[in-house]
């Protein structure tokens, strides 16, 4: 019986290798070696190289999405929801740097299948943000003149770019807590010093 353990071991190895080399530079034999299995064994668990990438995105991101969704769903306050979202997203990326790197790289690929994936599963993740914003607007906590459809992208883009430095070998000057706090401060209240803030 094909072991789920081996499946996971390959997924994790692939994540690591994709993160280090990128999808196209990663060789199947790299992943196999990392997972300590034979090249052919990979194909007992995945259809092809691309299938491995999609599986990484599906399964690993899927876990995070589920986790965040659950953490948010019973929260009544939009402001707190946003806080939870940022905290969870950033800590998930911090704790899983390989996955973060893969998301950075591969989600931008122009490949048809990647786009398809992005347009299906991933969309729901980004839409979590716009749902939170809409909720906040209904609660009169968030400004009515912000378009959730644009803000959700700006928000995700900001989060994603902010985590990129974590994946570089470079030392980063900011801690997870600082970054979380900064992102929240920025998106809650903007750059402008009050009292001009509300007037825009």
The whole-angstrom separation of Cα 189 and Cα 194 is: 9
By CB under 8 A, is residue 27 in contact with a second copy?
no
In angstroms, give the least distance from the CB of 119 to a second copy. 8
Helix or strand run (H / E) with residue 117: helix 112-117
CB nearer to a second copy: give 24 or 70: 24
Q: Which two tokens stand for residue 119?
A: 């347009």
Q: Which two tokens stand for residue 39?
A: 């090249």
Which 21-50 positions form the footprint of DNA (CB under 7 A)? 25-29, 37-44, 48-50
Looking at 3, 8, 25, 29, which residue binds a second copy (CB under 8 A)?
A: 25
Nearest partner of 98 among 57, 155, 54, judged by Cα: 57
By CB under 8 A, is residue 76 in contact with a second copy?
no
The whole-angstrom separation of Cα 33 and Cα 113 is: 26
Residue whose structure tokens are 């990663």? 26
Beta-carbon contacts of 165 under 8 Å, excluding residues fewer than 6 positions away, are: 172
In angstroms, give the least distance from the CB of 13 to DNA. 12
By CB under 8 A, is residue 116 in contact with a second copy?
no
The whole-angstrom separation of Cα 158 and Cα 174 is: 15
CB nearer to a second copy: give 66 or 177: 177
The whole-angstrom separation of Cα 78 and Cα 88 is: 15
The whole-angstrom separation of Cα 32 and Cα 41 is: 8
By CB under 8 A, is residue 149 in contact with a second copy?
yes
Q: Which segment (2-10, 18-26, 51-59, 67-75) binds a second copy by CB under 8 A?
A: 18-26
CB nearer to DNA: give 16 or 88: 16
In angstroms, give the least distance from the CB of 101 to DNA. 18
Cβ 19 vs Cβ 99: under 8 Å: yes
By CB under 8 A, is residue 19 in contact with a second copy?
yes
Which 178-197 positions form the footprint of a second copy (CB under 8 A)? 178-179, 182-183, 185-197
Residue whose structure tokens are 């994709």? 18
Residue 44's binding partner among DNA, a second copy, none (Cβ under 5 to 8 angstroms by kind) is: DNA
What does the binding site for DNA look like in residue numbers (CB under 7 A)? Answer: 1-3, 6, 25-29, 37-44, 48-50
């Amino acid at each position: 019986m094909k072991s789920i353990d081996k499946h996971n071991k390959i997924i994790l190895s692939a994540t690591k290798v994709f993160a280090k080399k990128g999808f196209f530079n990663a060789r199947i034999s790299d992943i196999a070696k990392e997972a300590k299995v034979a090249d052919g064994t990979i194909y007992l668990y995945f259809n092809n190289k691309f299938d491995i990438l999609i599986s990484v995105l599906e399964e690993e991101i899927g876990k995070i999405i589920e986790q965040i969704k659950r953490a948010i769903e019973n929260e009544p306050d939009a402001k707190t929801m946003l806080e939870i979202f940022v905290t969870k997203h950033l800590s998930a990326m911090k704790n899983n740097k390989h996955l973060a790197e893969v998301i950075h790289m591969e989600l931008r690929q122009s490949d048809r299948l990647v786009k398809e994936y992005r347009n299906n599963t991933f969309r729901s993740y980004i839409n979590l943000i716009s749902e939170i914003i809409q909720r906040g607007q209904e609660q009169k906590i968030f400004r009515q003149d912000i378009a959730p459809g644009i803000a959700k992208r700006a928000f995700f883009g900001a989060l994603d770019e902010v985590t990129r430095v974590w994946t570089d070998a470079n030392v980063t000057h900011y801690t997870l807590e600082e970054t979380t706090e900064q992102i929240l401060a920025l998106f809650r209240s903007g750059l402008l010093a009050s009292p001009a803030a509300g007037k825009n």
